[in-house]
């Protein structure tokens, strides 16, 4: 009876058949071994406070001039391009690696976000976008008064 559990090959593992499958699918779906990265999306943290929405995007090695922050309708858009070149020279060795990739992220804004007062700063590879909340949606304290 056939089983869905993979059989062990002679050397006691199923690694070799899996490697052959990866190579087969790699040749079929990716015929070019070295292809440039078409795009990437930076990691983003979104935090909500009482007065604002904070969006922190990890963009190490990217200059502030290469980042575009905009609000389109009720969506925050982060986009730009990362260009990086590393050169390694040794006695009988010379290598130059280049990376170029555009990035694009959309973050939906909640109701009550004040798109007119958005600010963006950058420090140590992290772009922080602050979207304040309109005063009418900010929580307010209501005093509890005793009844005499």
What distances in angstroms separate CA 56 from CA 24, 46, 49, 82, 124, one per listed residue?
40, 6, 13, 17, 12
Gap between the Cα atoms of 92 and 116, Å rounded: 57
Residue 122 lies in a domain: yes
pTM score, two decimals? 0.62
Residue 22 lies in a domain: no
Phi, psi dihedral angles at 66 (to 5 degrees) = -95, 5
CATH number, domain of 47, equals 2.60.40.790
Residue 60 lies in a domain: yes
Gap between the Cα atoms of 19 and 27, Å rounded: 12
The per-residue pLDDT for range 78-130, each reduced to its tens digit, is: 999 888 788 888 888 888 888 778 888 999 998 889 989 999 999 988 999 99
pLDDT at 24: 67
Residue 136: is its pLDDT beyond 70? yes
pLDDT at 148: 78
């Amino acid at each position: 009876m056939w089983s869905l559990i993979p059989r062990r090959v002679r050397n006691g593992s199923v690694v070799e058949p899996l490697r052959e499958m990866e190579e087969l699918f790699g040749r079929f779906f990716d015929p070019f071994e070295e292809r440039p990265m078409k795009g990437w999306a930076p990691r983003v943290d979104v935090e909500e406070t009482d007065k604002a929405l904070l969006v922190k995007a990890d963009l190490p090695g990217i200059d502030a001039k290469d980042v575009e922050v905009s609000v389109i309708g009720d969506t925050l858009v982060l986009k730009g391009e990362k260009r990086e070149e590393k050169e390694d020279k040794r006695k009988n060795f010379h290598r130059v690696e280049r990376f170029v990739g555009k990035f694009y992220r959309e973050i939906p804004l909640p109701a009550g976000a004040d798109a007119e007062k958005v600010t963006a700063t950058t420090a140590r590879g992290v772009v922080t976008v602050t979207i304040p909340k309109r005063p009418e949606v900010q929580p307010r304290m209501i005093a509890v008064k005793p009844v005499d």
